[in-house]
Amino acid sequence: MVEFATPEQAQEKKATRAAFGVTLAELAEEGVPVVAVDADLSGSTTTAKFAKASDDNADRLFNCGIAEQNMIDVAAGLSLAGQIAFTGSFAVFGTGRAYDQIRNTVAYSGLNVKICPTHAGVSVGPDGGSHQMLEDVALMRELPGMTVLVPADYEAARSSIKLAAKTDGPVYVRMGRAAVPAVYAPGVELEVGRAYVLREGTDVTIVANGVEIREALLAADELAERGISAEVIDAFCVKPLDEETILASARKTGRVVVAEEHSKFGGLCSAVAETLALNHPTRCAFVAMNDKFGKSGSFEELMSYFGLDSKAIVEAVESIVAK
């Protein structure tokens, strides 16, 4: 059974990217044949921590320079040599710039490459719209055979990286820059294809992942004060989606709000909407980027500016509960 963070643990904020390098080092120490391939960003992606953990690990980090397409091809070659290859870089470069290589070299051939960029979404903050990747989940989700994971906190990211190592074939793990509260207890072990009910409710279902889990839980607290009981589900595994858990909740509450730090097109919003449309048509609302690029600003400012925060979730819930 999955255990959740205590209130005290929830106060300890860490970025999901902080789990990357240290988890790779743990896997290497356990004898898992992992290698890391980075694009001159090992300090920011934290793969440098993997290399510094041991002399052997230092030889298992490959810096390809500012050349993400080459990074993917090097990882593909290493996977064909029997290694479990993890790629770094920022999400905007690690998926957008390298999409052709991910599609044709990795996904088309079903190679054992793990695409694990950091700095996704508006939580990149001051770097601005050019660096705030908001289409990556859609790009990766549409690729045949690609598993897509969007962890909510440090422990979920740690578990996701371990899951990626154990899952045969291409896997996408989306990590962020901003420090976020703990959701799960230390050492949690999540499962591919599972969603987790973080809070039970009867009036509305809030399906979220990544940094939006924080906002969904805050929204649930505020909604409770207004007499609305919200069920909060962490759909950290976007593909394959846990349709059973989401449908069971939708049948119970009759209303669904989906929240993600991503474009509303092609990501979790689309995945949930598709599932409901085919199996149990349900009144829905979406809290996500609505056909826009990002802007420069602090994480908190941008979440409010683009309507991605708990206030926006509360408003979305009230808009469908009132009908």
Distance CA 221, CA 86 (A): 38
- Rounded to 5 degrees, what angle do the CA atoms 128, 40, 169 make? 95
- Which residues contact residue 315 at a Cβ distance below 8 angstroms, ignoring those fewer than 6 apart? none
Q: Tokens for 47? A: 């793969």
Distance CA 147, CA 102 (A): 13
Closest by Cα among 43, 28, 38 to 114: 38
Distance CA 286, CA 272 (A): 10
Is the pLDDT confidence value at 77 over 90? Answer: yes
pLDDT of residue 276: 98
Q: What percent of the chain has pLDDT over 70?
A: 100
Place of tokens 């898992």: 32
- Average of per-residue pLDDT across 176-205: 97
Q: Where in 91-229 does DSSP place strands (E)?
A: 113-115, 147-149, 171-173, 179-180, 196-199, 204-208
Question: Which tens digit of pLDDT belongs to each residue from 9-25?
Answer: 988 899 999 999 999 99
- 155 flagged as catalytic: no
The pLDDT confidence band at residue 196, using thresholds 50, 70 and 90, is very high
Closest by Cα among 249, 254, 244 to 284: 254
Is the pLDDT confidence value at 248 over 80? Answer: yes
Residue 240: asked if its preceding bond is cis (omega within 30°), the reply is yes
- Average of per-residue pLDDT across 219-234: 98
pLDDT of residue 323: 63
- Average of per-residue pLDDT across 159-179: 97
Widest pairwise Cα distance in the chain: 62
* Average pLDDT of every residue of the chain: 96
pLDDT of residue 322: 77
How far lies 224's CA from each of 5, 96, 307, 320, in Å? 21, 40, 21, 16
Question: Which tens digit of pLDDT belongs to each residue from 263-275?
Answer: 999 999 999 999 9
Question: Which tens digit of pLDDT belongs to each residue from 198-208?
Answer: 999 999 999 99
Q: Which of 29, 68, 244, 300 is catalytic?
A: 68
Which stretch of 27-31, 113-117, 319-323 has the lowest confidence by average pLDDT? 319-323
pTM: 0.96
- Average of per-residue pLDDT across 18-44: 96
Question: Which tens digit of pLDDT belongs to each residue from 91-115?
Answer: 999 999 999 999 999 999 999 999 9
Provide the b/e sequence for 297-309 (b: ≥16 CB within 10 Å): bebeebbeebebb
